[in-house]
């Protein structure tokens, strides 16, 4: 339940952050914003440690939703439709990721939500990856009653379900479900005792105020998400957003910094769009408070910097993988 949908009988908690107060952070001089973000980051995290996760698509394409950024939508996407991956293939991919230094293995399926028979197969994958000594994360869409508990019993550590964008911009990106549906799934995840991975996508044509509004929604969760992926739109051919204008790189860094300041204890993950970023921009993002990345050559259907390049960048910057 969001603050907007709270009943009159329920006391409304004091907002820690408003969209206006976060927009004011964006408007600070760049150096002042990064200085403040770095101060907050050092108070709560090792300034030179970055957590590495690997993401595998375990079921690609054919999703019934109409998310305007996604090539896996059956309504406009061009991603090939594939069946659910075999358990042995998932375990092999997880072992390879671990061997290359990833500590968390994330599995994503292009569904509106999983059917119970599919959830049984995913639960087996979670258990097998957990047995390798890795943290586990899945993103499967919207969950029905009891499904989050089933995943928790299998050993799931994190469930990813992004808010995507600000409430006031959401309808311009997605029409087949409401943002409140996402909050419903996040509630089920929390009730099951699973850690929440929840962030959004910037560069979809939203205003700075909308970016601030998205961060306010995330920061005012109680508690804020354990992991906050900040994605920069990768325009995919065939999607409604394929011609979206690129976001100013410094605006992306400002978004990372504002996320760090407003969610001090969360892991802020530099996610999609990293392949389009040069090393200097990534270094600024780490300075702004990003302390988690996706590690590997692919994120579902979009590219990602190769592991060897990331290793070299970490060495150049004196970063330590955790």
Give the active site residue among 52, 70, 211, 260. Answer: 70
d(CA 322, CA 319): 10
Cβ(241)–Cβ(282) under 8 Å? no
Q: From the candidates 36, 52, 63, 104, which is the catalytic residue?
A: 63
Point out the catalytic residue in the list 67, 150, 254, 274: 67
Q: Is 285 a known active-site residue?
A: no
- Among 36, 52, 106, 260, the one annotated catalytic: 106
Nearest to 81 by CA among 106, 59, 54, 104: 59
Given 150, 197, 198, 260, the catalytic residue: 197
Active-site entry in 52, 137, 211, 274: 137
Catalytic site includes residue 198: no
Q: CA–CA distance from 39 to each of 6, 32, 161, 317 (Å)? A: 34, 11, 29, 18
269 a catalytic residue: yes
Closest CA to 55 of 95, 107, 93, 123: 107
Catalytic member of 104, 260, 269, 274: 269
Active site residue 197: yes
Which one, of 262, 248, 174, lies nearest residue 212 by Cα?
Answer: 262
CA–CA separation, 135 vs 289, rounded Å?
22
Active site residues: 63, 67, 70, 106, 137, 197, 269
């Amino acid at each position: 339940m969001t603050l907007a949908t709270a009943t009159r009988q329920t006391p409304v908690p004091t907002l820690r952050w408003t969209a206006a107060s976060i927009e004011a952070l964006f408007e600070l001089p760049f150096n002042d914003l990064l200085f403040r973000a770095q101060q907050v980051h050092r108070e709560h995290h090792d300034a030179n440690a970055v957590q590495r996760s690997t993401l595998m698509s375990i079921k690609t394409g054919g999703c019934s939703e109409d998310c305007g950024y996604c090539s896996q939508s059956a309504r406009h996407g061009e991603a090939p439709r594939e069946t659910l991956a075999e358990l042995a293939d998932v375990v092999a991919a997880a072992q390879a990721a671990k061997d290359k230094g990833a500590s968390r293995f994330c599995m994503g399926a292009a569904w509106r939500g999983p059917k119970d028979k599919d959830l049984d197969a995913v639960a087996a994958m979670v258990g097998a990856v957990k047995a390798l000594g890795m943290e586990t994360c899945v993103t499967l869409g919207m969950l029905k009653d009891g499904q989050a508990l089933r995943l928790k019993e299998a050993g799931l550590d994190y469930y990813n379900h992004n808010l995507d964008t600000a409430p006031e911009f959401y309808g311009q990106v997605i029409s087949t479900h409401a943002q409140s549906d996402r909050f419903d799934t996040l509630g089920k995840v929390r009730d099951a005792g699973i850690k929440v991975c929840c962030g959004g996508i910037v560069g979809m044509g939203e205003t700075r105020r909308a970016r601030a509004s998205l961060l306010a929604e995330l920061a005012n969760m109680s508690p804020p998400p354990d992991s906050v992926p900040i994605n920069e739109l990768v325009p995919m051919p065939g999607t409604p957003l394929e011609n979206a204008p690129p976001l100013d790189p410094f605006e992306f860094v400002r978004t990372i910094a504002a996320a760090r300041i407003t969610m001090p204890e969360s892991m802020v993950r530099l996610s999609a769009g990293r392949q389009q970023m040069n090393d200097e921009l990534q270094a600024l993002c780490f300075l702004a408070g990003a302390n988690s990345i996706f590690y590997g050559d692919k994120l579902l259907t979009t590219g990602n910097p190769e592991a060897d390049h990331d290793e070299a960048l970490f060495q150049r910057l004196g970063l330590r993988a955790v």
